[in-house]
């Protein structure tokens, strides 16, 4: 059996992993860590939940140089705030073992905290493209010393329209950098990234190319819109730990309110919440403090949550690809899972197209709870301290499925927009132009990135008008 030591991981990091109960590498780690340690560019196709964070994180931590304030030497780009925070939580305790400082930047949180951290000095930066571009524009950071870059969930960044800012960010980085790319697919715009921004990458493919629909049991239940909330509640009581997907923020809030009002502990997750609220929702769901996470598609990719028994499509996904992304939150690591779509009759045509797109053929029929598999469910009730405004129960008014009908309710709007962002732009660091140079052999980093005692010498030695695009 291959060990982390065999892969070239330092003893200090191996001990830190062992303290966390991690002793044996996963397949993707075994395949990618050795080349990562050598400084080679990597192009890796691997599904979420396969162990990617340590696969790129261990080589990155071990090879990262100490940074000067405002000039991080390693960068990890990721599409969502949740994934950025998740990566940070994994890598921060490990990087501290080698006296490196890791920090995450993303939207929805105060600029001041990020300015101060960058000004103190960050060695490993985890970032979402939008906020990083903003920090670059404000002069709060420079990437000219960044010689290790990881692109995680590259296909998702393409889906979310981040390719232009990603390319802009790569152009700002050191032109002799090591570029590591992880993605569920390697075609289309991801293929363009590989061609234009990587140098003779080692290609690694792990696991199936797509989420396997065969590992899941699919149900398409016909019902009127008025019954969806009641049936969702019953599904969660039957199946336990579930993720419910809605199309809109308001819809997510409404469903979450319905479930909590019905006595089920549920949390909502969408882009209209503050980062503190989003973090709290994820933590409660991950730690088993609620039974359901009600989310928009912001949570459909990149979030690795173990033990999800059921995914409920409360609102229809946009297309077959979105159906796969959502459904892939269950049946992970070889386990089984169930997918339930709540279908109104006018939606049958669009759901039929989704079935064809993902390669399944499932009958549309009314809800039948007896068909669902048996799960060991730990019931978690909603807090009685939760306020529901003017909403009320009528315990004698029961629906066909055994729960309360609630036809008339006052809805409360929540999650107001956060305060306007800071307008002033402190100029901590000035970007410097640099010429494009031919890429030399990057096997030895000993002579890379050395600085004169006086940093002002950079401007005379580097011309950055054209940056690193290959």
Q: What is the CATH number of the domain that holds 163?
A: 3.40.50.300
For residue 457, give Cα distances in angstroms to 190, 451, 454, 460, 462: 37, 9, 6, 5, 9
Say whether both 334 and 445 belong to one domain. Answer: no
Site of tokens 């409660």? 284
In this structure, what are the phi and psi dihedrals at residue 129, rounded to the nearest 5 degrees? -55, -40
pLDDT at 462: 39
- 329 and 305 Cβ atoms separated by less than 8 Å: yes
pLDDT at 211: 61
pLDDT at 303: 63
Say whether both 201 and 224 belong to one domain. Answer: no
User: Looking at 356, 371, 386, which one is the last position of a domain?
Assistant: 371
- How far is residue 105's CA from residue 122's CA, in Å, rounded to a whole number? 11
In a domain, 80, yes or no: yes
Say whether both 130 and 195 belong to one domain. Answer: yes
Say whether both 353 and 325 belong to one domain. Answer: yes
- How far is residue 280's CA from residue 97's CA, in Å, rounded to a whole number? 27
How large is the angle between the packed helices 11-19 and 81-97, nearest 10 degrees?
120
In a domain, 421, yes or no: no
Structural domain total, the chain: 2
pLDDT at 461: 39
In a domain, 345, yes or no: yes
pLDDT at 301: 57
Say whether both 47 and 184 belong to one domain. Answer: yes
Say whether both 39 and 157 belong to one domain. Answer: yes
In a domain, 405, yes or no: no
- How far is residue 179's CA from residue 182's CA, in Å, rounded to a whole number? 10
Say whether both 123 and 199 belong to one domain. Answer: yes
Say whether both 122 and 242 belong to one domain. Answer: no
pLDDT at 209: 60
User: Looking at 324, 339, 371, which one is the last position of a domain?
Assistant: 371
The pTM score is 0.60
pLDDT at 3: 92
In a domain, 330, yes or no: yes
pLDDT tens, per residue, the chain with 470 residues: 789 999 999 999 999 999 999 999 999 999 999 999 999 999 999 876 778 999 999 999 999 999 999 999 999 999 988 899 999 999 999 999 999 999 999 998 889 999 999 999 999 999 999 999 999 999 999 999 999 999 999 988 988 889 999 999 999 999 999 999 998 888 778 999 999 999 999 999 987 665 668 778 999 999 999 999 999 999 999 999 999 999 999 999 999 999 999 999 999 988 788 878 888 888 899 888 999 999 998 655 556 677 889 999 999 999 988 898 888 888 665 567 899 999 999 999 999 999 999 999 999 999 999 999 888 888 888 864 443 333 333 333 333 444 433 333 343 444 444 444 434 444 444 444 443 434 444 444 444 444 434 333 433 333 333 344 34
In a domain, 145, yes or no: yes
Say whether both 319 and 337 belong to one domain. Answer: yes
- How far is residue 7's CA from residue 267's CA, in Å, rounded to a whole number? 40
In a domain, 447, yes or no: yes
User: Looking at 354, 371, 388, which one is the last position of a domain?
Assistant: 371
In a domain, 5, yes or no: no
pLDDT at 422: 39
pLDDT at 52: 92
Residue span of the structural domain in which 166 resides: 11-209+432-461
Say whether both 72 and 179 belong to one domain. Answer: yes
Say whether both 17 and 85 belong to one domain. Answer: yes
**Residue 332 in 3-state DSSP?**
coil
Say whether both 297 and 444 belong to one domain. Answer: no
């Amino acid at each position: 059996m291959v060990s982390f030591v065999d892969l070239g991981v330092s003893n200090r990091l191996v001990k830190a992993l062992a303290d966390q109960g991690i002793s044996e590498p996963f397949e993707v780690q075994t395949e990618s860590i050795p080349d990562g340690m050598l400084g080679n560019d990597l192009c890796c196709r691997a599904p979420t939940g396969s162990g990617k964070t340590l696969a790129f994180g261990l080589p990155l931590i071990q090879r990262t140089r100490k940074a000067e304030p405002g000039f991080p030497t390693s960068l990890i780009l990721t599409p969502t705030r949740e994934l950025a925070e998740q990566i940070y939580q994994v890598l921060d305790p490990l990087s501290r073992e080698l006296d490196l400082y890791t920090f995450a930047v993303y939207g929805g949180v105060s600029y001041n905290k990020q300015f101060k951290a960058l000004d103190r000095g960050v060695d490993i930066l985890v970032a979402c493209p939008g906020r990083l571009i903003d920090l670059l524009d404000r002069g709060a950071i420079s990437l000219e010393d960044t010689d290790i870059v990881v692109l995680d969930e590259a296909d998702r960044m393409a889906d979310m329209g981040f390719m232009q800012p990603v390319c802009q960010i790569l152009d700002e980085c050191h032109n002799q950098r090591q570029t590591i790319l992880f993605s569920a697919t390697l075609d289309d715009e991801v293929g363009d990234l590989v061609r234009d921004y990587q140098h003779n990458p080692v290609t690694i493919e792990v696991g199936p190319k797509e989420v396997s629909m065969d590992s899941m049991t699919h149900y398409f239940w016909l019902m009127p819109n008025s019954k969806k909330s009641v049936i969702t509640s019953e599904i969660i009581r039957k199946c336990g730990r579930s993720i419910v997907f809605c199309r809109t923020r308001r819809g997510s809030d409404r469903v979450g309110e319905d479930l909590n009002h019905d006595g089920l502990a549920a949390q909502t997750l969408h882009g209209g919440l503050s980062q503190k609220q989003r973090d709290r929702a994820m933590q409660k769901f991950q730690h088993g403090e609620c039974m359901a996470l009600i989310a928009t598609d912001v949570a459909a990719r990149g979030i690795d949550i173990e033990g999800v028994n059921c995914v409920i499509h409360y609102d229809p996904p946009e297309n077959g690809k979105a159906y796969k992304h959502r459904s892939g939150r269950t049946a992970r690591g070889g386990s089984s899972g169930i997918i339930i779509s709540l279908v109104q009759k006018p939606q049958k045509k669009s759901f039929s197209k989704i079935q064809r797109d993902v390669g399944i053929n499932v009958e549309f029929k009314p809800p039948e709870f007896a068909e669902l598999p048996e799960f060991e469910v730990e019931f978690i009730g909603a807090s009685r301290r939760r306020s529901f405004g003017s909403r009320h129960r009528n315990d004698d008014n029961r629906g066909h499925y055994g729960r309360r009908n609630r036809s008339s309710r006052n809805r409360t709007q929540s999650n107001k927009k956060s305060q306007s962002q800071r307008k002033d732009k402190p100029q901590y660091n000035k970007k410097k132009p640099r010429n494009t140079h031919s890429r030399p052999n990057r096997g030895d980093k000993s002579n890379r990135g050395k600085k004169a005692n006086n940093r002002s010498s950079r401007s005379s030695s580097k011309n950055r008008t054209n940056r690193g695009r290959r």
